[in-house]
Amino acid sequence: MAPEPTPRSTESTAFRAALDVIRDVEPRVADAIGAEVEDQRSSLKLIASENYASPAVLLAMGNWFSDKYAEGTVGRRFYAGCRNVDTVESLAAEHARELFGAEHAYVQPHSGIDANLVAFWSVLSQRVESPALEKAGVRQVNELTDADWAALRADFGNQRMLGMSLDAGGHLTHGFRPNISGKMFDQRSYGTDPATGLLDYDALRETARDFRPLIIVAGYSAYPRLVNFRIMREIADEVGATLMVDMAHFAGLVAGKVLTGDFDPVPHAQIVTTTTHKSLRGPRGGMVLCQSELAEHVDRGCPMVLGGPLPHVMAAKAVAFAEARRADFCDYAQRVVDNARALADGLLRRGAKLVTGGTDNHLVLLDVTGYGLTGRQAEAALLESGIVTNRNSVPGDPNGAWYTSGVRLGTPALTTRGLGTAEMDEIAALIDTVLGSAQPGLTSGGKPSKAQHVLEEGVALRVAARAAELLSGFPLYPGVDLS
């Protein structure tokens, strides 16, 4: 059963004691940690990929598990003395399976990118390597002849993957050339309908039929709508592809039962990857969920592409997943989505332009060209006014991936703090005020700049003061007093 929330005084004592121990060795690190919580407390954080982990999650990471090597899997380690690591890794995996209704959970990936690498190589192992071994009549790669091994290596490099395009909201690890996934796979992209901004399943089906990928990757970092994973699986089945869903951004909405049925990837995809620190609100890390037939391949993630597991982080994953199994996490997930909708509505009512015209999930993609700004200028003007966001491309972005034309806004963090729909409407007003008062600056040559902005006198101070006032009603880590 869920543990009772820790009394406030206990949290203060725990963090103060930890900082005192650190201060004795390197006071500047203790000071930086203290300054970080103050920065987090005082900023209005709308970064869609960030959150605030609980004190229990944070504390589970700072301990002796960090010292243990534990390559292998539970009960089958390459190192002795892993009994306690086995306990926390099994707990994390068990909570994850229950939370997501998954057949198998692999909780070792150190990050979302690592989880994707594990997933890609699991599918390659299952669908390219295993048949080659079988054909050669051997059990493992070391037994292949040099010629068979060369042929298999060439085969690894000749596989196709279909992923969501970057400017439609996909992720760099879904087959793009700057990332290793784009160097490993021959990749093609699917995107959104230019008229509606919505995922175009018909076009995706056409591309899949023509391209016949080994893997179709679904999932996104900046798409404000739902993805129908039942349709994605139908398309994958039709062309013989494995469906992989990267739910790094929206795992918390799946755990919190806001995304169910066709919109829950776990029953539909053969393999699902995620981060654990975004909407899921756990420690910084990754995870792979899969159907049973992929389990043995996924479990070889370390040492295939991962360094030794981080047992302290697996301990924190177990704590975070236990938290996410409590009934109040469903309430949290629902509030994240309600807040995103309130933020979107507040912006729309003030005349702002949103990609797809709104949101169904935890994020809003604000197209700032209507304010005459680039994403970079908007991001900087908002930051100057105490509102932390990140610039993001919009579909077909005329300003490219560096300057961009959008700002991505997400509600998981502020919802953890307790802000609700009324506050979101006021935040929409603040954002509109800042962007409406900003103009492009000039380059040294006197031309309009894509990078510099000019804000009307007094706006930044006034908005930042109001943002601070708003936040003061919702203290962050109320149980932690470091003074």
Tell me which residues are annotated as active site.
69, 71, 246, 275, 278, 284
Total residues found in the chain within this entry: 483
Q: Which is nearer to ligand PLP, 49 or 385 (CB)?
A: 49
Among 45, 95, 104, 171, binds ligand PLP (CB under 6 A): 171
CA gap 215, 160 in Å, rounded: 7
Q: Which is nearer to ligand PLP, 108 or 377 (CB)?
A: 108
Among 55, 163, 213, 219, binds ligand PLP (CB under 6 A): 219
H helix intervals, 107-222 = 112-124, 130-136, 146-156, 180-184, 201-211
CA gap 457, 437 in Å, rounded: 9
Tokens coding 385: 């006014």
Question: Would you count residue 424 as binding ligand PLP (CB under 6 A)?
Answer: no
Question: Would you count residue 61 as binding ligand PLP (CB under 6 A)?
Answer: no
Taking CB under 6 A as the binding criterion, the range among 1-9, 241-249, 402-410, 442-450 that sits at the site for ligand PLP is 241-249
110 annotated as ligand-binding: no
Number of H helices, E strands in the chain: 20, 17
CB of 112 to ligand PLP, least distance (A): 2
Going by DSSP bridges, is the β-strand pair 160-164/186-190 parallel, antiparallel, or unpaired? parallel
386 annotated as ligand-binding: no
Tokens coding 277: 């620190």
Q: Which is nearer to ligand PLP, 22 or 247 (CB)?
A: 247
Number of residues interacting with ligand PLP: please give it, by CB under 6 A.
13
166 annotated as ligand-binding: yes
Is 280 in contact with 252 (CB distance < 8 Å)?
yes
Q: Which is nearer to ligand PLP, 111 or 433 (CB)?
A: 111
Measured CA to CA in angstroms, residue 477 lies from 119, 127, 152, 282, 462 at distances of: 35, 47, 53, 15, 26
Among 45, 249, 341, 391, binds ligand PLP (CB under 6 A): 249
Tokens coding 447: 């031309």
CA gap 124, 87 in Å, rounded: 30
CA gap 309, 107 in Å, rounded: 9
Among 248, 310, 313, 316, binds ligand PLP (CB under 6 A): 248
Question: Would you count residue 282 as binding ligand PLP (CB under 6 A)?
Answer: no
CB of 285 to ligand PLP, least distance (A): 7
Q: Which is nearer to ligand PLP, 163 or 346 (CB)?
A: 163
DSSP code string of 243-299: EEEE-TTTHHHHHTTSS-GGG-STTT-SEEEEESSSTT--SS-EEEEE-HHHHHHHT
Q: Which is nearer to ligand PLP, 163 or 375 (CB)?
A: 163
DSSP code string of 112-136: HHHHHHHHHHHHHIIIIIHHHHHHH
Question: Would you count residue 173 as binding ligand PLP (CB under 6 A)?
Answer: yes
Question: Would you count residue 181 as binding ligand PLP (CB under 6 A)?
Answer: no
94 annotated as ligand-binding: no
Question: Would you count residue 40 as binding ligand PLP (CB under 6 A)?
Answer: no
CB of 408 to ligand PLP, least distance (A): 11
Question: Would you count residue 408 as binding ligand PLP (CB under 6 A)?
Answer: no
CA gap 364, 47 in Å, rounded: 10
Question: Would you count residue 291 as binding ligand PLP (CB under 6 A)?
Answer: no
CA gap 109, 201 in Å, rounded: 31
Question: Would you count residue 246 as binding ligand PLP (CB under 6 A)?
Answer: yes
CB of 131 to ligand PLP, least distance (A): 28
Residue nearest to ligand PLP (CB): 112
- Crossing angle of helices 459-472/27-42, nearest 10°? 100
CB of 111 to ligand PLP, least distance (A): 3
Taking CB under 6 A as the binding criterion, the range among 2-10, 245-253, 354-362, 424-432 that sits at the site for ligand PLP is 245-253
Q: Which is nearer to ligand PLP, 251 or 347 (CB)?
A: 251
Among 43, 181, 192, 221, binds ligand PLP (CB under 6 A): 221
Q: Residue 323: enclosing H or E segment and its boundaries?
A: helix 311-324
CA gap 262, 245 in Å, rounded: 13
CB of 121 to ligand PLP, least distance (A): 16
Nearest CA-CA partner of 120 in 107, 109, 134, 136: 109
34 annotated as ligand-binding: no
Taking CB under 6 A as the binding criterion, the range among 51-59, 65-73, 94-102, 242-250 that sits at the site for ligand PLP is 242-250
CB of 202 to ligand PLP, least distance (A): 24
Is 430 in contact with 356 (CB distance < 8 Å)?
no
Site for ligand PLP in 83-142 (CB under 6 A): 111-113
CB of 169 to ligand PLP, least distance (A): 9
Summarize as ranges the residues that interact with ligand PLP (CB under 6 A): 49, 111-113, 171, 173, 219, 221, 246, 248-249, 275, 286
Which residue ranges are tagged as binding site for (6S)-5,6,7,8-tetrahydrofolate?
A: 166, 170-172, 293
Which residue ranges are tagged as binding site?
A: 166, 170-172, 293
